[in-house]
Structure 1
């Protein structure tokens, strides 16, 4: 995205120092260190207020209590009319695909949302205009988007 929009800046957050170190090496190699800030920490501990236009939460890698806390905290971190994009594993098209998607997410330590639960979380956390964005047929990920009122 930063290559497509030259004015865009990003903040990456991860609790693992090793992941941040690898990300920093990748950012340097891409020549984007002046546009990407990396922080070691937890998404739910972000102290920024009215600072971001978009928050992306990859729930497949984050335990459910933390996803819930991040979605709620992100509301304050977003600027008015900013967007939350909650990525989640898209269940497979059949029972086997669904079971494999759930298994992978569980192995990654992430959250598996039951039908409608992710959008309910976004709605209950104060976001407006929430909607399910299923992605292309067979895509391994789906999204729920919600906008901060403003």
Structure 2
């Protein structure tokens, strides 16, 4: 009897405070010049909103909103003008992130988790990563150096921000791993091994190894600069005995039945190697092991879909989406292949290498 796994793993979140940026669609022939101006005005508001939210983290304001304080107290503690502090607080209040009582501001219950050191760093990274990557995109386009050869950032700030986001997403998803049959017991046993493809700053490997004491990880990062940053983070986390950074490409992976779990951010892999990569991961997994494949969804005609398609192209993954990847995973031998529920921008496909004990 064939069993079904109901995967509830979610790897993405809406951007903090902004949600999805969408405009009402209508027939292009009915659009007017004023509609264009309205979109540009809303774009202007979105850009400045992101910059102001980022300033709340960069300035240290978030860290001080865990307890009530006046504008003057915040300004003095941060050594920035009171008028600037007031503007940032007004921005946060507009999103429902700050409340006032007797002339003092304090984080709302929704924002309170982000007033800790770890929370503020996540908030900062969630804004810094897209801001820096968008600026790099604009600069390369203007300089005539834009290519579609994939992720090639060497800027520490970009790599670090992406790594911090990965750690946050992984921590948020941990509780949902239990919905993948057999996975959590595997990861809790001595000898459990993770394959982290495109590890970057090693955020995913570090988070999972901290959560599962017996887990070790092989983190593949072919680019030398991100690999060095990943090694530094592993040392800082005191996990050098459990996480190994390999400057190796997934399509060249030769391991056989070595891993219990693999993570594949496929949007960074070009079309010419994706089938080979899936085949190598299938062979590298132990029978009954799972691969989690991250996908930027761009179905439909919404602005969000168009933005995700642009990111997919810039990151090297062409325009692949869930419907394209599912048959490739099945062709490689995975069964079942399940898309995790949810309609977030970043989605997850969960696929299992059949266990030898599974019925045909």
Is TM > 0.5 for Structure 1 vs Structure 2?
yes
- Residue in structure 1 matched with residue 274 of structure 2 by the alignment: 67
State yes or no: 1:13 paired with 2:220. yes
State yes or no: 1:32 paired with 2:239. yes
Q: CA deviation at 1:140?
A: 2.6
- Residue in structure 1 matched with residue 349 of structure 2 by the alignment: 144
Aligned pairs, number: 148
Distance in 1 of aligned mates of 2:229 and 2:351: 30
Tell me the secondary structure at the aligned position of residue 19 of structure 1: helix
**Which runs of 5 or more residues in structure 2 are unaligned?**
1-207, 356-360
State yes or no: 1:51 paired with 2:258. yes
State yes or no: 1:96 paired with 2:321. no
Q: CA deviation at 1:134?
A: 4.1
Tell me the secondary structure at the aligned position of residue 210 of structure 2: coil
Tell me the secondary structure at the aligned position of residue 122 of structure 1: helix
Q: CA deviation at 1:10?
A: 0.9
- Residue in structure 2 matched with residue 77 of structure 1 by the alignment: 284
Tell me the secondary structure at the aligned position of residue 121 of structure 1: helix
Q: CA deviation at 1:109?
A: 1.6
Q: Determine which structure has more spread, i.e. the larger CA radius of gyration.
A: 2
Distance in 2 of aligned mates of 1:59 and 1:111: 10
Q: CA RMSD in A?
A: 1.6
Which of 1 and 2 has higher RCO (CA within 8 Å, sep 6+)? 1
